[in-house]
Structure formats: C-alpha cells, structure tokens
Amino acid sequence: MDDETFHERMATYEQLSQEIREQTRERERLADQIGTDLAGTISTAVSVAGANVKAVDRAEDGQRYRFEARLDRAALVAAVTEQLPEGFVVSHVNEDGTLSVEWTGERETPSKREHGALLKAIVAEEMAVDSDGLVETVPTRARVVSRAVELGIDERDATARLDRLATLNVVDLVGGEVYPGENFSRL
C-alpha cells in the first residue's frame, strides 16, 4: 500500500467525520426545537385542562390554610392528545406529573394509541397508593369506561381498548376492578 492511498483514505475519513459532526449538531438542534414546540403544545393543553385544587391542611387557629394544586392526569392526557401534532401520542403520565410524548412514526396517530394512553391515565388518576407505594384502591372497570366516555372516547372503543390493554399486561382486570399490570409503566 503506498502513502498516497493511505493519505487519501485518511482525508476521506476526516471529511466524513466532519460531516457526521455537522449532521449531529443539526440533529440535536432539530430535536431541541421539536422539544420546545411540544412543550408549548403541552402548556396550551394544561391551560385548557386546568388543575384540581383542594385544601389539604389548616392551622388550628383557622388563619392559615395549605392547598394542593394537582392536574387531573386523565383530563390532561385528553387535552394534550387534542393539541399534539399528528404522529405524536402521550405514552405515559408519571406519578410526579411528568409525561412522556412519543413519535409513532406514522403520519396520523392511531386512535388506539391515544385511547390506550387515556385509559392508563384514568387508572393512574383513580388509583390510590399508600406511603410504601402499594396499591390501596383501584377503579372499577365501569368507572374507567365511564370516565373515558366523559373525555370523548366511544364506549365500545373504550371497552375494547381496555380489554386489549389487559391482553398486553398493561392492566389486570380482576373482579370488575382495573389494576396496573406488569407493563403499566412501559407502554
């Protein structure tokens, strides 16, 4: 192998490396812009969904009160779902109020994905856990379906999607109640 060929290869390697660096910078800039745009969309949805405010404590003398403002996760998912650009779906709402938005890779977001996210949010919203993180109470199947209907999902679609989530081990349907399943946090 002569030196010229080696040098040409190294020059090509350096050129390709520079192109990769430039493309990586552009990819990161684009991803940051998408994140900023999605945050604006979610902010709009939060203003639509509002927050639930309840008094959680008061001083014995009645002069000082403490309030907790909490988003209704199910209403938030419904509002965000309406606001998101096509192809994006809420995939998970966490206990701390953060949520994950996922690109489906499709031109239009499949309604089954939107419905599944909303049903999960309803289960999470209606479920109560103790200080150790153990489930104390869960919603009934009828409650989950009726809440989904309140938030705009057809009753048959809500029922079918809830059954599908059970098949995927996202929820467990036991004795008319809906428990978080093995895959509840993953899908």
Q: pLDDT of 126-146, one tens digit each?
A: 888 888 878 889 999 999 999
Provide the pLDDT for residue 97.
Answer: 66
pLDDT tens for each residue of 84-113? 888 898 887 766 667 888 888 877 777 888
Contacts (Cβ under 8 Å, ≥6 apart) of 187: 91, 92, 116, 120, 165, 168, 170
Residue 185 counted as domain residue: no
Q: Which residue has the tokens 């020059």?
A: 11
Q: How many folded domains does the chain comprise? A: 1
Task: Render pLDDT for 28-79 as a digit per residue (tens, 0 to 9).
Answer: 999 999 999 988 888 888 777 766 777 788 888 878 888 887 778 888 888 8
Any domain includes 187? no
- 94 and 117 in contact (C-beta within 8 Å)? no
Residue 154 has pLDDT above 70, yes or no: yes
CA distances from 40 to 43, 102, 148 (A): 5, 16, 25
Report in angstroms the alpha-carbon separations of 57 from 61, 136, 178.
12, 22, 31
Residue 83: which domain range? 3-180
Determine how β-strand 171-174 pairs with β-strand 135-137. Answer: unpaired
pLDDT for residue 162: 95
* 186 in a structural domain: no
User: Which 3 state secondary structure label does DSSP give 100?
Assistant: strand
Contact 122, 148 (CB under 8 A): yes
Decide if pLDDT at 23 tops 90: yes
pLDDT at res. 2? 60
